[in-house]
Chains A and B, each alone.
Chain A
Amino acid sequence: MPPVTRPRRQDDFARFPSSTPIVIDNGASTFRIGWAGESEPRVAFRNIVQRPRHRSTGETVSIVGDTDPALMKFFDCTRSAIRSPFDDDVVYQFEYMEYILDYGFDRLGANSEVGHPILMTECECNPSFSRARMAELLFETYGVPSIAFGIDNAFSYKYNQKLGNCGEDGLAISCEHGTCHVVPFLKGQPVLGGCCRTNVGGFHITDFLRQLLSLKHPYHMASITWEKAEELKKEHCYIALDYMSELQLFKNNKEEAEEKTRYWQLPWVPPPKEEPPSEEELARKAALKEKAGQRLREMAAAKRSQKIVELEKKVSYLEELMEQLDEAEESEATAILGRSGYLSQQEIRSAISKATQSLRKAKGESNGNEEKTDASAADKYPLVSVPDENLTPEQLKEKKKQILLKTTTEGKLRAKQRRAEEEALREKQEEQRRAENPELYLEELRARYSELSERSEQRKRQKVNGGQTNGNHSSSSGVGRGERLNAAQKERMRLLASAAFDRGKGEDTFGMRDEDWLVYNKMSKDNDDDGNDDEESELVRIASKLQEIDPTFVSKPETVQPTPEPPKVRPLTAEDYRIAIGIERFRCPEVLFQPGMIGVDQAGIDEMVSISLRRLMEDESVKERLCQSILVTGGSSLFPGMIPRLESGIQQYRPYPARLKLVRAADPILDAWRGAAAFAASSKFGKQTFSLADYREHGENLFHRHNIVYSL
Chain B
Amino acid sequence: MESEVVRTEMVLPLALPFKKVQMADKYPKGQSRGRQWKHLRLLLQAADASSMPPDRPNYLNIQSPPSIYPPKRYCDITGFEAPYVDPRTKLRYADPEVFKQIRMLHDDYVQRYLALRNASTPLK
Query: A-side interface residues toward B, CB under 8 Å?
Result: 6, 9, 54, 56-57, 61-65, 67-68, 71, 74, 87-88, 90, 92-93, 95, 98-99, 102-103, 105-106, 110-114, 123-130, 140-143, 192-193, 195-199, 208, 211-212, 215, 218, 244, 247, 250-251, 583-584, 587, 594, 596-604, 607-608, 611, 704
- Nearest 9 CB-CB pairings of A with B: A599-B118, A596-B71, A87-B40, A599-B117, A110-B18, A192-B57, A62-B12, A195-B62, A603-B64
Q: Is B13 an interface residue (CB 8 A)?
A: yes
B residues in contact with A111, CB < 8 Å: 17-18
In the complex, chain B residues 5-50 whose Cβ is within 8 Å of any chain A Cβ: 5, 8-13, 16-21, 23, 26-27, 35, 37-40, 43-44, 47
Tell yes or no: B65 within 8 A of A by CB.
Answer: yes
Cross-interface CB contact of A106 among B13, B35, B59, B69, cutoff 8 Å: B13
Known: A88-B40, A244-B81. A140 touches B21 (CB 8 A): yes
Point out the residues of chain A lying under 8 angstroms from B117, CB to CB: 596-599
Shortest distance from the beta carbon of A186 to any chain B beta carbon, whole Å: 14
> Contacts A215-B113, A598-B118, A602-B66 hold; do A114 and B18 have CB atoms under 8 A apart?
yes
Q: Is the CB of A6 within 8 A of B8?
A: yes
Q: What would be 7 A-B contacts, judged by CB atoms less than 8 Å apart? A: A62-B12, A88-B40, A98-B26, A143-B18, A195-B57, A247-B80, A599-B116
B19 touches A127 (CB 8 A): no
Closest to B63 in A: A197
Residues of B within 8 A of A (CB): 1-2, 4-5, 8-13, 16-21, 23, 26-27, 35, 37-40, 43-44, 47, 51, 56-59, 62-69, 71-72, 74, 78-81, 94, 109, 112-113, 116-119
Contact B64 A197 (CB under 8 A): yes
- Chain A CB count within 10 A is highest, among B18, B19, B37, B109, for B18
Report the minimum CB–CB distance from B118 to chain A (whole Å): 3
Contact A113/B18 with A6-B8, A9-B9, A127-B59 known, Cβ cut-off 8 Å: yes
A125 touches B19 (CB 8 A): no
| B58 neighbours in A (Cβ, 8 Å) | 125, 127
Is the Cβ of A608 less than 8 Å from the Cβ of B20?
no
Give every chain B residue within 8 A of A99 (Cβ-Cβ).
12, 23
A209 CB to nearest B CB, Å: 11
8 Å CB contact of B16 from A102, A250, A596:
A102
Of B9, B16, B81, B109, which contacts A6 at CB under 8 A? B9
Complex CA–CA separation, A90 to B59 (angstroms): 9
Q: In the complex, what's the smallest C-beta–C-beta distance from B29 to chain A, in angstroms?
A: 9
A251 to B81, CA, bound (A): 10
Contacts of A127 in B (CB 8 A): 43-44, 47, 58-59
Given contact pairs A88-B40, A99-B12, A129-B43, A604 touches B67 in the complex (Cβ within 8 A) = yes
CA of A142 to CA of B19, assembled, Å: 5
Interface centre among B37, B58, B62 (most CB of A within 10 A): B62
Q: How far apart are B18's CB and chain A's nearest CB, in angstroms?
A: 4
Contact call B12/A103, Cβ cutoff below 8 A: yes
**A247 with B66: CB separation less than 8 A:** no
Q: Is the CB of A71 within 8 A of B59?
A: no
Judge whether A125 and B38 touch: CB under 8 Å.
Answer: no
Whether A63 contacts B11 by the Cβ 8 Å rule is yes
Q: Using Cβ atoms and an 8 Å threshold, which residues of chain B touch A250?
A: 80
What B residues does A130 contact at CB under 8 A?
Answer: 43
User: Which A residues are CB-close (under 8 A) to B47?
Assistant: 127-129
With A9-B9, A71-B4, A247-B81 as known contacts, state yes or no: A600 contacts B118, CB within 8 Å.
yes
Instruction: Kindly state the separation between the CA atoms of A140 and B26 in the bound complex, as whole angstroms.
Output: 11
**Does A597 lie within 8 Å of B21, measured CB to CB?**
no
Which A residue's beta carbon lies closest to that of B68? A607
Tell me whether B20 and A601 are in contact (CB under 8 A): no
Chain B residue nearest to A704 (CB atoms) is: B51
Given contacts A141-B19, A195-B62, contact A603 B67 (CB under 8 A): yes
CA distance A113 to B17 in the complex (A): 7
Could you say which residues of chain A place their CB within 8 Å of the CB of B18? 105-106, 110-114, 142-143
Q: Once the chains are docked, how many angstroms separate the CA of A143 from the CA of B113?
A: 49
State how many angstroms separate the Cβ of B111 from the closest Cβ of chain A.
11
Taking A63-B11, A90-B40, A127-B59 as known contacts, 6 extra A-B pairs with beta carbons closer than 8 A to each other, sorted by chain A number, are A6-B8, A192-B62, A583-B79, A596-B71, A603-B66, A603-B68
Q: Give the docked Cα–Cα distance between A105 and B47 (Å).
A: 31
